[in-house]
Amino acid sequence: MKKNIILTIAILAGIAIACKKSAEQPALKDKILGKWLVVSNNNFHNDNGIVAEWGGYYVASVKINKDNTFVINGDSGSSGTWKLNDPQDKLKFYTWVNVAGVVIADTTEFKVSIDTDRELVLEKAPMLLRHKKIN
């Protein structure tokens, strides 16, 4: 009987510790904030950065802001808003760019994650883009 009580207490303590550790992890919404350099498109990788095409734009970097806005390549003329959809693994970009007075709009949705190398991963078949955080 004593062994069962000790075993039960040990299991409950382990569950409590595991729950506390996962609660300390920042939410995905907080992890994706910041300026990101595109470093990989499918199997092509370059730590110095590459340019990828998505949503009709050539993207070398994207800055994702806390106020749900973003800027492509540091150009405020190529910007928009973003939304993390439930279940929080879909990131939708609502983009607009002003080209000679003509506004071009696009909506692109990616499956989003942060991998073990702390890279932002945006996936929309057949494209898989990896980004590293920059200052």
Number of H helices and number of E strands within the chain? 2, 11
Q: State the Cα–Cα distance between residues 29 and 85, nearest whole angstrom.
A: 10
27-134: CATH topology: Lipocalin (2.40.128)
- The distance from CA 84 to its chain's CA centroid, rounded to whole angstroms, is 9
Q: State the Cα–Cα distance between residues 91 and 102, nearest whole angstrom.
A: 26
Q: State the Cα–Cα distance between residues 129 and 39, nearest whole angstrom.
A: 8
> Could you report the per-residue pLDDT of 73-106, keeping only the tens digit for each?
987 767 899 999 877 799 999 988 777 888 888 8
Kind and range of the H or E run holding 59:
strand 57-59
> Could you report the per-residue pLDDT of 20-40, keeping only the tens digit for each?
544 566 799 999 999 999 999
